[in-house]
Amino acid sequence: MVPFNQRRLLIMKELLTATAPLTAKKLASLISCSERTVREDIQFLNMWLKELQYPELLRKPNLGYLLQVNEVKRAFLREDLESIDLTHYEFSRDERINFMTLELLTVSKPTTISKFEQLFQASRGTIMRDLTLCETNLSSFDIKMVKKPKRGIWIEGEELLIRSALSHTCKTMDPLLIQVVARNHERYESSAEQQVSVSKSMAHIVDELQVEEIKEIVEPILSWKEITLSDDSRLALYMHIGMVLKRIRSSNSFTLPEGDLSAILKQREFHIGQLLAFQLEKYFHIHIPEQEVAYITLHLMGGQNAPSNKIAGLSRDEDEGLLQLIMEMTKAIERRLGLSFEKKENLYHGLLLHMRPAIFRAKYGMTENNTLLEDIRQEFYNLFEAIKSEISMIEEEYQVQFPQEEVAYIAMHYGSAVGIVGEEKEDKLLRIMIVCNSGVGTANLLKNRITSLFEGIHIIETLSYQRFQKEDKWEEVDLIVSTIDIESPLLPVLKVNPLLPPEDYERLSRYAEVKGKAQSTSQEIYETVWPLIEKHCDIKDSKALTREMIEQVDLLLKKNRTGIPMSLGSLEGILTADMIQLNEKASSWQEAIAISTAPLERSGLVHGKYKECIIEALYERGPYMAVVPEIVLAHAAPDAHFPRVGLSMTRFDEGVTFGHAGNDPIYYVFAFSSPDQTSHVPALQQLFQELIKNDKKEQLRKAKHSWDILKVFSQ
């Protein structure tokens, strides 16, 4: 039997929904591993497909891997994928921690380390390390993990905090794996065989919440009432309803503040919550109190981002107050960044619709998982930081604190309003439809990216997934571009990241004309410049000069086509050999900042107190500069007295702890300075484009000299 794991499950999931070949590089970027690992996993998947008598994955040279089955077999294959045996599944650390957390949050009796050892077929040391991380995660919700010899492990905390932690856990779990677990319970429900005990135990964790039965009741009502929820929000809703039923049975009550309860009772979603409660009561023979109906309603309200005036939220007066705050926040962001957002009416409308449920999410700890968080933070770094600062006016008014996942969603609205172009002409070559989960933030952001990069595209419409399912204007569309997994029997579907990174840009460019692509080639530029060189210079080796000129110009054109602005502020012009430090050591993050800013001080690019400003900012706001695993981007506010943009890179032999749960330890600190809000942006965009490539960190780790580092970033 072929052993499955998280990577192989995700690769198969991507291939099942792909309508075009996926390269090993693309798959590696999606699941954060090396291309070599992807190729090894493909071999395992081919063995699994062969066992089930499906054709092996087709490998097309220079294009990638493709699953060659018709729609009927594709549906059967998904059924088989959801039915894999958990006795042959290798759980990742994150998956183990999620299931441990789920067990602790939902069981009424203490559990034990030995139970987890058997459950995951892991050593005691592994389980102990996982439990330490689990304890850290729970402590962030003010939930205490209690461990007593001979008694076991359990948690203690307020009911609302326990539910908030469960909401967060549900939204970090893969719905496909939950489906696999549920199917395992169906398979082994009546089995007494010893070899399936692990599968039965794992499935029991999910079945305790009766997810499958709840889904059968809830799904038709959501569809009937046109409630649009993302996959993870749906899963969270089902699991939360399961927990509500379980907590009611064990007499764990939940009470909303009177003001919040009265506001919820007025919402359209409350009537849907009542309908759900009625059906659930009838099926499970249980009474659901009004407070719990209101709690279910909160999940309906908090999980929506659809562009509809029926969205949950606030009263008319509160709407006007929130709109005023959004307008003030927008002005503050414009002042901070020195820019002006276009089509503000559309921007305000989209933000208002988003902020209504966002406030409820923040108030009750229902954080929406945002898989684009790191991409958005990298692509719109200054905008992201500006929103984090200026959104405090809304946080203070509503007594909430927005997590960075929510800030990223808001950044998508603002990002789509930067440099919005006019309506496309009807005679564009390629007619596309954009589909995303909600039809608002990601769709508008993607629309803006496409119209700014491509000439040959006419965007017919942007749709939510729910509206897409009802669409019938297929004769007007040539291609569907989607940010989520969808299928269309009539048209090709291209799934992309809404930020349109280089690999997705290249895939879309095969369909459409790229802006500026045909304007000039390296050969044309060479033919224009060469006569001037001959006229004014003595040439020692004309063949070598010709070759190198064409190579360098082609490199510049390629960078421009990927959307990275080339200017005097580019990475190559700022990060120089004297700004690179290798093999450094630091006993604390404060010392690491001091070491990393030293090259900037020596070069006169910053004043002596710059490092203190960075340290003070980290003390005040926490380790927010740890932007990706192993990397800190150290900076303070721009200063008009700085002569130009500065950037240094320091590599530490031993990881430095900055206090970031997800990105510690830190091995690389990039310290930068800027005289204003915009000069450094091109270099940072280019830097992040390089750092998110899978092989770059490994190359930086192996570099022995500063010029090796420069070579890494020039490739």
CB neighbour list of residue 295: distance below 8 Å, 6 or more residues apart:
163, 240, 244, 254, 256
Closest to 634 in 3D by CA, of 624, 621, 645: 624
Residue type, 65: Y
Contact 600, 669 (CB under 8 A): no
Q: For 693-715, write each residue's pLDDT tens digit.
A: 657 788 888 888 888 888 787 76
* Residue 250: per-residue pLDDT: 75
pLDDT surpassing 50 at residue 312: no
Q: How confident is the model at residue 417 (pLDDT cuts 50, 70, 90)?
A: confident
Spatial separation of the C-alpha atoms in residues 21 and 476, rounded to whole Å: 25
Cα 169-173-174 angle, rounded to 5 deg: 165
Percent of the chain with pLDDT over 90: 10
Contact 205, 234 (CB under 8 A): no
CA 573 to chain centre: 31
Radius of gyration of the chain from its Cα atoms, rounded to whole angstroms: 27
DSSP three-state, residue 647: strand
Three-state secondary structure along 235-253? HHHHHHHHHHHHHHHCCCC
CA 267 to chain centre: 30
Predicted model pTM: 0.49
Strands 144-148 and 58-60: unpaired
Q: For 205-228, write each residue's pLDDT tens digit.
A: 555 667 778 888 888 888 787 777
Domains annotated for the chain, with CATH where assigned, are 4-84 (1.10.10.10), 90-208 (1.10.10.10), 212-302 (1.10.1790.10), 316-415 (1.10.1790.10), 430-509 (3.40.50), 522-561 (no CATH), 571-714 (3.40.930.10)
Spatial separation of the C-alpha atoms in residues 259 and 346, rounded to whole Å: 31
Contact 53, 77 (CB under 8 A): no
DSSP three-state, residue 360: helix
**Averaged pLDDT of the chain:** 77
Contact 435, 306 (CB under 8 A): no
Task: Return the minimum-mean-pLDDT range out of 34-48, 467-481, 579-593.
Answer: 467-481
Q: Tell me how far apart the terminal alpha carbons of the chain are, to the nearest angstrom.
A: 42
Contact 478, 491 (CB under 8 A): yes
Spatial separation of the C-alpha atoms in residues 417 and 43, rounded to whole Å: 44
Four-point Cα dihedral 348, 349, 355, 360, nearest 10: 150
Q: What are the Cα distances from residue 25, in Å, to 12, 35, 153, 575?
A: 15, 6, 42, 27
Q: For 36-80, write each residue's pLDDT tens digit.
A: 888 889 999 999 898 888 898 888 777 789 888 877 788 888 888
